[in-house]
Amino acid sequence: MPKRNKKGGKGRQGDSNSEDESLNDNVSVFSYMSENGASSVNDSDELTSNERYEEKFMQALENATEKSAQTRVLALQSICEILMHRYMPDFVDERKVTLIDCIEKSIRRGKGPEQVWGARLAPLLVLQLGGDEGISKALNQFLLTTVQDKSVSFDARAKCCTALGLLNFFGGDDIGEVVTLMQFFEAIFSASYLKGDDKTPISVSADAGNLHAEALSAWGLLLTMIPSGDFVSWMTSGQSMLPSFKKLMGLLQSPHLEVRIAAGETLALILECGRAHDEEFLEEYLNDLIDSVKQLATDSHKYRAKRDRKTQRATFRDVLRYLEEDISPEITIRFGGESLVLDSWAIHHQYSALCVIMGPGMTSQLQENDFIRDIFGLGAKVDTANGATKHKATKLERHLVNAAAFKARTITRGKNRDKRSAVFT
C-alpha cells in the first residue's frame, strides 16, 4: 500500500511538472503582471493543457480501431494513462458509446496485451462517469465469459477479475448478485486450496497463482459491501455460500507470494467484518492463525527472493498486530491540502483496489474525482485557489471523521441495496 501511494505521489508530481513546462520560461513575465493578468494566463494555460489531452485522447480513440494489433494496444494504453491522470467526465460521457464498443472488442476479439488493457480501461471509464451502474452491467457479461475461457492468458483473465470486482463494487446494489459473483471468484482461487492431505497443489504455476490472488482480492473487495450481520450469519451457518475460514487459512501455505499476501489481508478483513457484529467471531481459529502468521512475519528462508521476504514480513507483521492487539495498520495519504487516513482493513482494501487501476494518478483523482471522493467520504472538492489557511486536523480528529464517514457510507449503501438475504438463508 505505501509503495503504491509513493508511486502515486511521484506520478502526480511528474505529471504536474510536464504540464507547466511552458510556464517556466515566463516566470519573470508573471512577476510584472497584475493579479487579473496572471489569472488570465493561468486559465489560458489550463485550457491549452486540456485541449492537448483531449486531442491526444481523440487520436488514441481513433487508433484503437486500427487493423494493427500493436497500434490498438498502444492506443488503449494511451487512453488508460490519460484517464488515470485527468478527470474529464463531460468529455468522456460524450464518447462513452464508442469507448464501451472499444472495450468490448478488445476483450472479446483481442489477444493477450490487448485484452489486458481493455480490462484496465473498463473500470477507468466507469470511474469517470460517476459509477454508472448501466455501463457496469453492460461490461459484466463479456468480462465473465473471458475469465472462464481457459484459452485466454492468465494475465488477461486476472485483469478481468480485477475489473469485475471494481465494476460491481461501484454499482452492485443487489446483494444476491454480489454474493453470486463472490462464489464465482472462489471457484477460481479454490484451485490453490490445500489438498485433502493438507499439501499444496503442485500444478499451480506462478501465472496461475497471480490469477488466484487477483480473484481473491476481488472477492475481498466485494466483502466490504456486505452488512456484517449477514456475513456472520452466512460464515457460521455451515452453508456453502461462502468459503470456509479453514480453507482460506490454507492459502497462507501457497508457494506464491501474491497468494499468501492476498490471503493474509483477506483473513484480516474477514475477522474485522465479523467482529463488527460479533466480538468472538471465529475465535476458535485464532490461535492456529496466529501461529501461521507469525511464521510468515519472521520468514527468513533463503530460497525466497530477498525482496519477497521483505514484502511478506511487512504485510504479515501488520496482520499479526491486528490478530494479537486488534490494531489495524494506519496510513495517511496526503494530496493537495487534504489527507485520507486508512485505518481499517476495509478501507485499505478499497484504496488498494483503486490504486491497482489508477496507478500514479490516484492522488490527483482523490482531489478531482467526485465519485472517488464520495467512496472515501471526502466531501466536496476543496478550493485551494484562494490560498486561505486551513485548520490542520489532529490525528484523532482525522480518525473520527474517517470512521464516521465510513459508518455513514456503509449504512447508506445498505439501505440502497436490494435486501435479498432471505434467499440465501
Q: Give me the tens of pLDDT residue by residue for the chain, a chain 425 residues long.
A: 433 333 333 333 344 344 343 334 433 333 333 344 444 445 555 567 778 889 999 999 999 999 999 999 999 999 999 999 999 999 999 999 999 999 999 999 999 999 999 999 999 999 999 988 888 888 998 899 999 999 999 999 999 999 999 999 998 778 889 999 999 999 999 999 998 767 888 789 999 999 999 999 999 999 999 999 999 988 887 667 889 999 999 999 999 999 999 999 999 999 999 999 998 899 999 999 999 999 999 987 766 778 888 999 999 999 999 999 999 999 999 988 899 999 999 999 999 999 999 998 999 999 999 999 999 999 888 775 544 434 445 556 666 666 676 666 666 666 555 554 444 44
341 falls within a domain: yes
44 falls within a domain: no
**Lookup: cell for 20:** 507547466
pLDDT given at position 202 = 78
417 falls within a domain: no
For the whole model, what pTM was predicted? 0.79
Angle at 221 between CA 279 and CA 277, to 5 degrees: 15
Q: How many whole angstroms separate alpha carbon 125 and alpha carbon 114?
A: 16
Burial of 225 (0-12, 13-18, 19+ CB in 10 A): buried
Question: Which one of 361, 379, 397 terminates a domain?
Answer: 379
Q: By residue range, what is the domain housing residue 350?
A: 328-379
159 falls within a domain: no
290 falls within a domain: no
240 falls within a domain: no
**Lookup: cell for 230:** 449477514
User: Domain tally for the chain?
Assistant: 2
73 falls within a domain: yes
pLDDT given at position 248 = 96
SS3 of the chain: the string is CHHHHHHHHHHHHHHHHHHCHHHHCCHHHHCCCCHHHHHHHHHHHHHHHHHHHHHHHHHHHHHCCCCCHHHHHHHHHHHHHHHHHCCCHHHHHCCHHHHHHHHHHHHHHCCCHHHHHHHHHHHHHHHHCCCCHHHHHHHHHHHHHHHHCCCCCHHHHHHHHHHHHHHHHHHCCEHHHHHHHHHHHHHHHHHHCCCCCCCCCCCCCHHHHHHHHHHHHHHHHHHCCCCHHHHHHHHHCCCCCCCCHHHHHHHHHCCCHHHHHHHHHHHHHHHHHHHCCCCCCCHHHHHHHHHHHHHHHCCCCCCCCHHHHHHHHHHHHHHHHHHHHCCCCCEEEEECCEEEEECCHHHHHHHHHHHHHHHHHHHHHHHHCHHHHHHCCCCCCCCCCCCCCCCCCCHHHHHHHHHHHHHHHHHHHHHHCECCHHHHC
pLDDT given at position 40 = 47
362 falls within a domain: yes
Phi-psi region of 424 (alpha: psi -120 to 50; beta: other; left: phi over 0): alpha
pLDDT given at position 125 = 96
pLDDT given at position 29 = 35
Question: Which one of 362, 379, 396 terminates a domain?
Answer: 379
Question: Which one of 133, 153, 173 terminates a domain?
Answer: 153
